[in-house]
Every structure is written in structure tokens, then in C-alpha cells.
Structure 1
């Protein structure tokens, strides 16, 4: 019979949730701002162009927000 050893598959010390939370927040911000700007800049609600512009803006803004979150709220205390 096998006994649990108390070891988890991923120890909490090696699991850093900050990157996940930063990625999730920056993705949501990039998605909302990117598609809002795309539909305002290219007001064709039935076309493919606003969707493509929205996706491009979402990716660009997600990267910018991801890098900027650490400058606004540093994760490491000095």
C-alpha cells in the first residue's frame, strides 16, 4: 500500500503566481482597450478589418501592460 509522502507535485516555493496574475490582468486590459479602440477607429461592425485591428492592438497592448505592471507595482520590495 502506498502512503502519501506529503510532497506535492509542484512545491509552493517553485510555483510563482505573480506571472500568471500579471499575464491575466494585462490580457484583460489589452483585450478591452484594444477592441474598443479598434471598433472606434474602424467603425465597420460587420467587417473583418476591426477584428484584425483589435487582435493586433490586443497583442501589442498586452505586452506593454505586462511590462508596465511591474513598473507601477513592483513585485519585489527594495
Structure 2
């Protein structure tokens, strides 16, 4: 018989949720800032340009925020 814990890839004790929280927070920040700046910089509400610029800014800002959050927050507590 297969135990449900055998199906888990990693034991729950070893899962570090900090990378997930940092990634989620940086994606939310990147989306909000990226699309806000894109619609202000290219004010064409029916065009494709604000969406493309917003996606490019979102990807760039997400990477910047992800690296920046790592510098701002303290590292692992020991």
C-alpha cells in the first residue's frame, strides 16, 4: 500500500516558502507598477501597445523586485 507521504516530492519540514512568497509579492508589484506606467506612458486604451509595454515592464520589474526583496529582507534566521 502506498502511503500519501510517499507521494510527496519533499517533506513538509524541508519546504521553504520564502521563495514562493517573494515571487508572488514581486509579481504583484511588477504587475501593478508595470501596467500603471504602461498605460500612463502609452495612453491608447484600445491599442495593443500598452499591453505589450505593460508585459515587458512587468517581466523586468518582477525580476528587479525579486532581487530587491532579497536584499531588503533579512536572510535566514539561525
TM-score of the superposed pair, with normalisation by structure 2: 0.85
Indicate the residue corresponding to 1:38 in structure 2.
38
- Tell me the C-alpha RMSD between the 2 structures: 2.0
Aligned length: 77
Bigger Rg, structure 1 or 2? 1
Give the superposition deviation at 1:14.
2.3
Which has more helix, going by share of residues? 2
Extract unaligned runs of 5+ from structure 1. Answer: none
- Residue in 2 aligned with 1:74? 74
What is the CA-CA distance between 1:7 and the residue it aligns to?
Answer: 6.4
Name the counterpart of 2:22: 22
Q: Distance in 2 between matches of 1:59 and 1:5?
A: 37
TM-score when normalising by structure 1: 0.85
Gaps of 5+ in 2: none
Shift, 1:76, TM fit:
1.9
Q: Distance in 1 between matches of 2:26 and 2:66?
A: 5
